Amino acid sequence: MKWSRELSNSITTLTKLRSCIDLREEELRFPRLRKNKSEQIHPVRIPPVFAELLSRKGGAAREVIRRQFVPTEAEYTVLPGESLDPLCEVAYSPLSRLIHRYPDRVLLITTEQCAVYCRYCFRRRFTERAGAINSEEIKEASEYVTTRSEIREIIFSGGDPLMLDDGTIEGMLSEFSALRKTRAKPLSFRIATRIPTALPSRITGGLLRILQQYVPLWLVLHCNHTEELTPRGTEAISRIVDAGIPVVSQTVLLRGVNDRSETLAELFENLVSVRVKPYYLFQGDAASGTSHFRVSLPRAFEIIRDLRGRISGLAMPVFATDLPGGGGKKTLHEDMSVRRENGNFLFTGNDGRTYRYPDESNSDATYCHESRPLL
Ligand X SMILES: *Cc1c(COP(=O)(O)O)cnc(C)c1O
Footprint of ligand X on this chain (CB under 6 A)? Answer: 99, 101-102, 105, 107, 155, 329
Backbone torsions φ then ψ of 245, nearest 5 degrees: -110, 115
Say which DSSP state 94 is in: S
Q: Which of the choices ligand X, ligand SF4, none does residue 125 contact, using the CB cut-off of 5 to 8 A by kind?
A: none
Q: Which of the choices ligand X, ligand SF4, none does residue 316 contact, using the CB cut-off of 5 to 8 A by kind?
A: none
Residue 160 touches ligand SF4, criterion: CB under 6 A = yes
Strand-pair partners of 340: 345
CA–CA separation, 180 vs 152, rounded Å? Answer: 10
Q: Which stretch binds ligand SF4 (CB under 6 A): 51-59, 83-91, 154-162, 361-369?
A: 154-162
CA–CA separation, 302 vs 174, rounded Å? Answer: 45
H runs (alpha helix) in the chain: 3-8, 14-20, 25-28, 48-55, 61-69, 135-146, 166-177, 195-198, 205-212, 231-242, 261-273, 297-310
Q: Which stretch binds ligand SF4 (CB under 6 A): 74-82, 113-121, 293-301, 332-340?
A: 113-121
What is the contact mask toward ligand SF4 in residues 37 to 76, using x (rule: CB under 6 A)? ----------------------------------------
CB of 155 to ligand SF4, least distance (A): 13
Nearer to ligand SF4, 220 or 300 (CB): 220
CB of 119 to ligand SF4, least distance (A): 8
Q: Which amino acid is at 57?
A: K
Are 292 and 369 a contacting pair, CB within 8 Å?
Answer: yes
Query: What is the β-pairing status of strands 328-331 and 318-323?
Result: antiparallel
CB of 68 to ligand X, least distance (A): 20
Member of 62, 97, 123, 255 binding ligand SF4 (CB under 6 A): 123
Member of 62, 66, 101, 194 binding ligand SF4 (CB under 6 A): 194
Q: Which of the choices ligand SF4, ligand X, none does residue 173 contact, using the CB cut-off of 5 to 8 A by kind?
A: none
Give 8's contacts (C-beta < 8 A, 6+ positions apart): none
Member of 20, 99, 106, 121 binding ligand SF4 (CB under 6 A): 121
Residues in the chain: 375
Nearer to ligand X, 70 or 276 (CB): 276
Nearer to ligand SF4, 107 or 323 (CB): 107
Member of 20, 114, 187, 311 binding ligand SF4 (CB under 6 A): 114
CA–CA separation, 324 vs 321, rounded Å? Answer: 9
Strand-pair partners of 108: 98, 156
Q: Which long-range contacts (CB under 8 A, 24 or more apart) does 333-339 make?
A: 334/301, 334/302, 334/304, 334/305, 334/308, 335/305, 338/297
Nearer to ligand X, 47 or 327 (CB): 327
Kindly report the number of other CB atoms within 10 A of residue 250's CB atom. 19
CA–CA separation, 54 vs 65, rounded Å? Answer: 6
Count, residues near ligand SF4 per rule CB under 6 A: 10
Q: Which amino acid is at 78?
A: V
Q: Which of the choices ligand SF4, ligand X, none does residue 329 contact, using the CB cut-off of 5 to 8 A by kind?
A: ligand X
Residue 159 touches ligand SF4, criterion: CB under 6 A = yes
What is the contact mask toward ligand SF4 in residues 197 to 236, using x (rule: CB under 6 A)? -------------------------x--------------
Residue 255 touches ligand SF4, criterion: CB under 6 A = no
**Which stretches of the chain bind ligand SF4, using CB under 6 A?**
114, 117-118, 121, 123, 158-160, 194, 222
